[in-house]
Structure 1
Amino acid sequence: MESERQPPAAASAAISKVLDNDDLLIEILLRVSFPTNLVRVALVCKYWLRHVSNPKFLHRFHKLHPSTLLGFYIATGPTLHAPHFVPVQPQPPELAAVIGRTSFSLDCDQKVLTYIRDCRDGRVFTTRCKGSESIHRVYNPLFPEKGMLIIPPIPSYQRQDDYYCCLSQILSVKEGDDLSYLFVWVASKKDRTKSMVHVYILRPGDDVWRTHLTLATDPLSNNWVTKFVLSDNKIYMRGVRSDIVVLDLVASRSSTIRLPQGVEYGDRDTMLSRADDAPGVYLIQVKELQLRIWLHKGDNWLMVDTISLVEMCGNLRISDCMGEEEQTAVLWIKQVGDNVEFVFLQMGRYILYLDIKCRTLRKVHEMAGKDQCYYVHIYPFKMIWPPTFPPLKDDPSRNAM
C-alpha cells in the first residue's frame, strides 16, 4: 500500500490545485457547518479570512446555515418576572460545548421583578423593578468578558387628554456589529378611534433615548399578548379590526394591511414573523392542528406553506394539564423565529418546538402548576450572526474576492 500513496510533492500539488482556486475554495468553505468553525477557518491565514468575512460569502453561508437555536428563556406565572434558560437538546458537540461553558443566568431575584424586554443576536435586554425603581441592562452570555451594559432610563409616558397608554415594547435592530434599540409605546383614545405611536431610539454609545417618531395611526389592539414585529424598517402591529397597522420608520407614515381572506387575528393562534429573506412580513396561524404560513409581499398575501400537526402531535403522546379531552384541540403559538425558521407551541403544560425546514415537532419543556400553563412567554436565544472575525491589519483588501 505504501507504493500506492502519492509522493509528498504530488500531494502538495493536488492540494494547491484545490485551495488556490477561489471558486472551489469558496464552495468548500460554504459547507462548514457552524459560525464557530468559520472563525477557526479565518485564523488559518489572511487569504482565507478575506473569503469568509466577505459580505457576499456570509450572505450565502447564512442562507445555507441559519443561526442555530441554542435554547430559550421562559417566564411563567401571572407576573412573568423570573425567566430562566432552557437549552435545546440535542446539540452538535461543538455547540453543546458552547452551552456547557456559558452561564445564561440573568441574576433573577425572587424579591425583585425581572423581565426580558428583547432577546436578539446573543444579547438579552432586561428590566429589573424594585418598588418605583427600574434598572435596564443588556446581558451578553456568550461573551461574559464584555460585561453588562447599563441602559439609560426609558422615556416615561406623558399623559394626554382622552388618551391612555395601553402597551409598550422594546425592539432591536442590527447596526454593524452592534444593536440599536427602539422603545415603542402606544397611546389610544378612550373611544378607540385612533392611536398615537411614540418611537424612541437608543444607538450604541448614546446616554439618552432620542425621539425618533410620533405618528397617529388607525386604532391598535391593547392586548398585552400582542407582539410588534420590526422588519425592513417597518413596524407591524395588530389593529383592533381584522387588519395589521404598518408604521414606516423611513417614510414616517402608517398604512393598513388586510389579513388574508378567512383569517382572524386571534390572541393565541396567530403571530407575525420578521422577514429577512424577503421584503414584507410573515403571518403564521395554527387552527385545528394545521399550521399555515403566508408572506405579505407588495400588496398581496402569498401562501408559502401548510403543515399538518395531527400526526406529529399524536406521536408525542403527551397528556395535557387541562384534561385529556382538550389535549388534541388546544395548541397556542408562543413564539416564531425570524423567516419562520421555527415555531414554539404550547399544548397544556408542554412547550413544543417545531422545526419548519425539517418538519419535526418535539417536546422541549414541561411546566408545573396550572398558573404556569396559562401565563407563558418565550424568548429564543440563537448563535450570534455574523461571527466576530480577527482584524486584518495593514490589509486594505480584506473584503476583496
Structure 2
Amino acid sequence: MAAVALPPAKPPSISSTTMTTTTTTTATAADGTTTTTLIASAAGGTTAITTTTTIKTTSAADGTTTITTTTITTTAPPTTSAVATTTVSSLGQDQLVEIFLRLPNLPALIRAALTCRSWLGAVRSSPSFRRLFRVLHRTPPIGLFLNIDGAATPSFVPLRRSDPEVTAALRRGDFFLTSLPVKAGTLTTWGVMDCRDGYILLWNKLDRPSVDKPSVAVVNPMTWAVDIIPLPGNVKAGKRRNFAFLGFHLLCSDEKPSSFGVVCVCGDKLRVRLAVFSSETWDWVVHPWVEIYGRKNLKFGSGTLVDGSVYWPFHGEGRMIRIDTATMDITSVDLPPQVTVEGCNFMAGETKDAQLCIVYASDDFALHVWTRGVDGDGIEIWMPQKTIGLSEIDRITMDLEGDLEVVQVRSGCVYLSTTCMTPVGTFRCWFFSLSLETMELELLVEGCFDGGACPYIMAWPPCLVGDDGSIGHEVEGSQ
C-alpha cells in the first residue's frame, strides 16, 4: 500500500474576539499539483497567519497511487513555519471530499478511497459528492468493442494508453472476453448490443431459434463476471408473421452498480412488445403486444435508451415510438421534417445535461442537432440547436467516398463512423467522437471492421457506493 502524507490537524487560529479578514487562493500546476493558500489577518495588521496546503497525486509504473498533502503555516510577526504529518482520523469528511474532487479521474479516486476506512466511508456515504464528481469528471471511453465479421467475440481496442490509471485497470480486467462460454462443436458469434455503466450486453447472432434457446450475455470485464440469460420462451406467444428480435438494451444505475436489467424489444406486423429482465429477481416480465400502426415496420437494431425510455424509428417514416420502460406506455413521436430516415443517418440520444436530443447526418457531411422542448402553447416540439460541418472527416479519410453513420449519442458526445472503399478494393472504417459542447472531433480508431462499435466507459464500482454510510468490507491498510 502506498505511503500517504497528510496535513496537520488544524493551523493556528486567531482569537474569535478579534476582527479578521480571510483570503483564499487556489492554483493548479501543469503536473496536477494543487496549492491552496489561506491568509487570515487581524484588525490593524498586528497579526497575520498564512496557511499553504499543497496536494499532489502521483502514479507509479506498478499502478500504485500516492497522494501527498503538505501544509505550511506561517504567523507574522514573528514568522514561523512548520511542516508536519498527522493521522487520517484528523481529516473531516468535508475536507476529504474537497481533496477527492481534485483527483483527475475515477481510477485515481478508487485507489485513493481504498487507502483506508475513513476515506472509503467519505465516498460511500455521500451521494451528492458522487454526483458532483461525475459532473466535474466526465468519464471518457477507455476503449471500444468492435464487431468483426466472422469473429467469435468482439475485439477490444484500448484508448488513452498514456494514462497509467486506465492502463492498470485494463490489465486487471477481462477485456478479451475469455470468460464467455463457447459451445463445443458449434459456431458462436457474440455481437455487442449495448455498453452501459461498466456492463456489456451481447447476443449470440448464430443462435437458431428452431434448435437453440436464444440467449444474451451480460459481462462486467472489470470483475470478470458473466451472466448467460436465456430469453423467455413465451415472448413469441401470439406472434404474427415477420416476428423478429429488434434489439436489446441495458438498464443500469450508478447508485446500484451491482444490479442491472435487460430490455428485449420484439416486433411483428405493426406490433411491438417488451420483455424486461431484472438481475435482482432473475426473471423476465413479458408485456402484452401493442399496436403501433403505420405503413412500415420498426428498424432492426436502431433503438436508443434515454432516461428510462426506448426510442425506436420506423423504416421510411418520419416518426419513432417512445416506450417508457417503467409504465410501458407507448407513444408516437414525430421527427423533425428535415430528417430523412435512411440507413443509420440519425440517432436519438442525450445531451450533457441529460436532455433528449436527435442528431442527424445529412448527405453533405453535416450534423444537425435538435433538443426536445415545449413551445408557448405547452406542446412538445423539436428545437434546432446547431449545425456542425464535418469537412475534417474528408481530410482524415483522404476524400474517399462513404456514408456517415451516427452510432450513438451519450452524455453530449456523438459517436460517428464512416466506411469507405479504398483504391485497392478493400473497405476501411473510421470511428470518431464529437463533443456537442466543445465541438472537438477526435479520431478514436481506424481499420477493417464493419463500423459497429460500442464505447466502453468505466463504471463506479460497488465498493464506492453505500448511502447508509457503511463500509461493507475491510480495506487493506485501514486505520
TM-score after normalising by structure 2? 0.66
Distance 1:297 1:232 in 2: 15
SS at match of 2:260: strand
Task: Look up the equivalent residue of 2:103 and give its one-letter code.
Answer: V
In structure 2, the partner of 1:295 is 371
In structure 2, the partner of 1:352 is 431
- Structure 1 residue aligned with 2:336, among 254, 260, 268? 260
Distance 1:64 1:73 in 2: 26
Task: Look up the equivalent residue of 2:219 and give its one-letter code.
Answer: Y
- Structure 2 residue aligned with 1:239, among 283, 290, 314? 314
Gaps of 5+ in 1: 189-194, 397-401
Q: Aligned pair in 2 of structure 1 residues 394, 388: CA closer, same or farther (>3 Å)? A: closer
- Structure 2 residue aligned with 1:340, among 370, 387, 412? 412
Output the aligned Cα RMSD: 3.5
Which of 1 and 2 has greater Rg?
Answer: 2
- Structure 2 residue aligned with 1:229, among 300, 304, 311? 304
In structure 2, the partner of 1:399 is none
Mean Cα deviation higher: 237-246 or 166-175: 166-175
Distance 2:233 2:118 in 1: 48
Q: Aligned pair in 2 of structure 1 residues 155, 91: CA closer, same or farther (>3 Å)? A: farther
Distance 2:96 2:238 in 1: 62
2:347–2:360 CA contact under 8 A, matched in 1: yes
In structure 2, the partner of 1:201 is 276
Cα distance, 1:73 vs structure 2: 1.2
In structure 1, the partner of 2:141 is 69
Distance 2:370 2:465 in 1: 40
Q: Aligned pair in 2 of structure 1 residues 217, 135: CA closer, same or farther (>3 Å)? A: closer
Q: Aligned pair in 2 of structure 1 residues 393, 377: CA closer, same or farther (>3 Å)? A: closer
- Structure 2 residue aligned with 1:142, among 218, 222, 228? 222
Cα distance, 1:273 vs structure 2: 1.5
2:418–2:430 CA contact under 8 A, matched in 1: yes
SS at match of 1:112: coil
In structure 2, the partner of 1:364 is 444
Task: Look up the equivalent residue of 2:174 and give its one-letter code.
Answer: S
Q: Aligned pair in 2 of structure 1 residues 159, 170: CA closer, same or farther (>3 Å)? A: same
Mean Cα deviation higher: 295-304 or 175-184: 295-304
In structure 2, the partner of 1:277 is 353
In the alignment, is residue 217 of structure 1 matched against residue 313 of structure 2?
A: no
- Structure 1 residue aligned with 2:164, among 77, 86, 93? 93
Q: Cα deviation per residue 1:6-49 (whole Å; 9 max; x = unaligned)?
A: 68984459999x95583x65444222221122223323555544
Task: Look up the equivalent residue of 1:208 and give its one-letter code.
Answer: D
Cα distance, 1:334 vs structure 2: 4.7
Gaps of 5+ in 2: 1-71, 75-79, 375-379, 421-427, 472-479
1:125–1:138 CA contact under 8 A, matched in 2: yes
In the alignment, is residue 171 of structure 1 matched against residue 249 of structure 2?
A: yes
- Structure 2 residue aligned with 1:111, among 187, 198, 206? 187
SS at match of 1:40: helix
Q: Aligned pair in 2 of structure 1 residues 289, 58: CA closer, same or farther (>3 Å)? A: same
Percentage of identical aligned residues: 20
Distance 1:300 1:141 in 2: 40
Q: Tell me which protein shows more helix as a share of its residues.
A: 1
Cα distance, 1:355 vs structure 2: 3.4
Distance 2:239 2:458 in 1: 45
SS at match of 1:148: strand
TM-score after normalising by structure 1? 0.77
Compare relative contact order (CA 8 Å, sep 6+) and give the higher one, 1 or 2: 1
In structure 1, the partner of 2:63 is none
